[in-house]
Amino acid sequence: MIDDVLGIPDQLRDALWRLESARLEAAPAAGLFVCGMGGSAIGGDLAAAALGDRLTGPMLTVRGYALPSWATPEWTVLCSSYSGQTEETLACFEAAEALGARRVVASTGGALVDRAREAGVPVVGLPGIFQPRAAVAYGIVIAAEFASLAGIAPRVHTEIDAAAAFLTEQAEALQQQAREISALVAGAAPVIYGSDLTVPVARRWKTQVNENTKAPAWWGELPEADHNEILGWTGASGDERAAAIFLEDRDQHPRVGRRFELTSEAIQPGAAAVARVETAGETRLERLLWAVMLGDLVSLELARQRGVDPVPTEAIDRFKEAMG
């Protein structure tokens, strides 16, 4: 999967090409729901964080079987499922129809695309060559584009092109940094903390460790963790100690920077290791994608250290079979 991660810049460019080819029309909306699960959902969170205060309306990720009870027909509903078979996303697709909201789809095929074609719903096709979680760049770009088409965000195609070039330049340095972080936290369950821009990135790091490394991991956010979670580190000892990774944004609020510093100092005695990472890049989009790519590389390096194949998802597959 290393090639998939290093290929994120190419994914960004290909996603733009696919959007241009789809010839989508603008449709002003009250807001945007991004409905999906797992790797198909995180793109919505990441896109919203990258857009930040440039969002002029709500952009919310729905992970489940239903839209919020307060949803209205004036919203746009993006149903994202890499396989096209995700039952929660299919349920949201039907719920959006019942609501009378505008629907759009991103998928490789499956029942979701079949239903979309039958209903005349626009579809952005995805390449079917990845593990769903490895197609994260497509999810980010497509969610950002539909936010723009809904009239709640500016178009960011130029920024995406620039980010692709930046990540290509950073590839070697990112791999080296991933090796250093992995060596530091090896053998301990990581807890990844973010703030503002890096909150969904922390969630992404956590799930990538779960799926690629086949290991437990958790995520949290500052300043909230300073009001409760910080106490959880004070009683840890011996084998139960976890490793903390702090994802700091170079443009974060000064008080948040101070919190990262003090929090890392406070938990140090109860942690197996503490790593502090600061984002690189000019725009929010560049910095977010840089941090996503680093986290993916860390998860793969941890898998290599453990002698684990990052590709199979047997436990998830068995669970889906049991659900029927």
The answer to whether the CB of 79 falls within 8 A of the CB of 110 is no
pTM: 0.97
- pLDDT per residue as tens digits for the range 231-277: 999 987 777 789 999 999 999 999 999 999 999 999 999 999 999 99
Beta bridge partners of 135: none
**Residue 79 resides in a domain:** yes
CA distance 39 to 62: 13
Helix (H) or strand (E) holding 14: helix 8-22
Say whether both 225 and 109 belong to one domain.
no
CA distance 248 to 263: 12
Q: Tell me, what's the pLDDT at 138?
A: 98
Report how many domains make up the chain: 2
Domain-ending residue, one of 122, 155, 188: 155
Structure tokens at 108: 């490789």
Say whether both 32 and 139 belong to one domain.
yes
**Residue 324 resides in a domain:** no
One-letter amino acid identity for 205? W
| Phi, psi torsion values for 33, nearest 5 degrees | -95, 130
Say whether both 47 and 140 belong to one domain.
yes
The answer to whether the CB of 33 falls within 8 A of the CB of 64 is no
**Residue 243 resides in a domain:** yes
**Residue 317 resides in a domain:** no
CA distance 78 to 34: 5
The answer to whether the CB of 161 falls within 8 A of the CB of 313 is no
Structure tokens at 215: 């290991």
**Residue 212 resides in a domain:** yes
Structure tokens at 294: 């680093």
Q: Once rounded to an integer, what is the mean pLDDT over residues 80-85?
A: 98
Closest CA to 243 of 165, 284, 316, 187: 187
**Residue 311 resides in a domain:** no
Say whether both 148 and 173 belong to one domain.
no
Q: What CATH number is given to the structural domain containing 219?
A: 3.40.50.10490
Say whether both 66 and 90 belong to one domain.
yes
- pLDDT per residue as tens digits for the range 162-189: 999 999 999 999 999 999 999 999 999 9
CA 124 to chain centre: 19
Say whether both 16 and 96 belong to one domain.
yes
Cite the active site residues: 211, 227, 320
Say whether both 15 and 149 belong to one domain.
yes
User: Can you give the residue range of the structural domain that contains 95?
Assistant: 2-155
**Residue 34 resides in a domain:** yes
What is the rounded end-to-end Cα distance, in angstroms, of the chain?
Answer: 29
The H-assigned helical ranges of the chain are 2-6, 8-22, 42-51, 87-99, 110-119, 136-149, 157-185, 199-208, 254-267, 284-306, 314-323
Say whether both 29 and 135 belong to one domain.
yes
Say whether both 89 and 198 belong to one domain.
no
pLDDT for 39 beyond 80: yes
Say whether both 88 and 218 belong to one domain.
no
**Residue 6 resides in a domain:** yes
